[in-house]
Amino acid sequence: MIYLKTNEEIELLRENHLLVSETLAEVGRHIRPGVTTKELDRVAEEFIRSHGAVPAFLGYQGYPASLCVSVNEHVVHGIPSDKVVLKEGDIVSVDCGTFMKGFVGDSAYTFAVGEVGEEVRQLLEVTKEALCKGAAQAKAGNRVGDISAAVQEYAEKFGYGVVRELEGHGIGRKMHEAPGVPNFGARGRGPLLKEGMVICIEPMINMGTRAVVFESDGWTVRTRDRKPSAHFEFGVAVRKDGADVLTDFSIIEKAIKH
Ligand code: MF3
Ligand code: CO
């Protein structure tokens, strides 16, 4: 069942996605060599609660933290730890969710820690651009497959591996609603996109093979070849004239500019 949202509901979803954007910006301000991923989780939880919301990930299917923090070869769902210390040249994918006023927000951004190599810099840029290429298809009358194909085609042009085991999703009163939004697929296939649908698009793009391994902590997903992976996610409302992006990456990018 795909729920279509009213304009009022879309504004509540936007409030959540903007709070997630602000939280990721606050986390970004704390990202530097020497910080632990656990410290980033504390920053996020405190920030979310001080804005009258609840961390949507905490306790979700037993998940133990407010953020997923995935470093280098970790694709998604890295559990914050006081033993994981960021160092210069790392990349760190931070995924964050909020719950407030009956709705959820869910977005992710991959940060560079200090100066990173040119190859890794390109992986970040291409993954973010793949997300935007997908979002450009989030228009009433198109199909989910138009989004999926746009993401896949763009990322594969660079020789990157597109992770297939995890996908984007509808979002609303629940974090995961129908439809699933894969990052690979065929144009013209899949559920029809309608005005008022709200979905999260979230490409996970690997520098090397697309193959992933699910680690024994029950959560962390890593690349099989241990090459780096990037993850960007935002929420979009489907409109007749195109996508209304609910997350604001410019808030994050202003915060980390120096
Ligand atoms: N953005 C992730 C997703 O869409 C967040 C879920 S992870 C969990 O699946 F920690 F909440 F489980
Ligand atoms: Co998501």
Q: What is the pLDDT of residues 24-41, one digit of tens each?
A: 999 999 999 999 999 999
**pLDDT for 126:** 99
For 2-27, the pLDDT digits (tens) are 999 999 999 999 999 999 999 999 99
Which residues contact ligand 1 via a Cβ below 6 A?
A: 57, 60-61, 63, 68, 77, 95, 97, 106, 108, 169, 233
**pLDDT for 60:** 98
Q: Which of 93, 99, 106, 175 to mutate to test the pocket of ligand 1 (most atoms within 8 A of CB)?
A: 175
**pLDDT for 163:** 99
Ranges of residues in the chain with a pLDDT under 50 are none
Q: Which pTM value belongs to this model?
A: 0.98
Q: Which ligand is nearest to the CA of 56?
A: 1
Determine how β-strand 221-223 pairs with β-strand 212-214: antiparallel
Q: Is 258 exposed, middle or buried (0-12, 13-18, 19+ CB in 10 A)?
A: exposed
Among residues 98, 80, 121, 126, which one has the least CA distance to residue 23?
98
**pLDDT for 242:** 98
**pLDDT for 5:** 98
Q: Which two three-digit tokens encode residue 200?
A: 């999260």
**pLDDT for 249:** 98
**pLDDT for 203:** 99
Please tell me the distance between residue 77's alpha carbon and the centre of ligand 1 in angstroms: 7
CA distances from residue 231 to 89, 123, 130, 187, 239 in whole angstroms, order as listed:
17, 10, 10, 22, 25
Q: Which two three-digit tokens encode residue 51?
A: 């804005």
CA distance 5 to 7: 7
User: Domains of the chain (ranges plus CATH)?
Assistant: 7-257 (3.90.230.10)
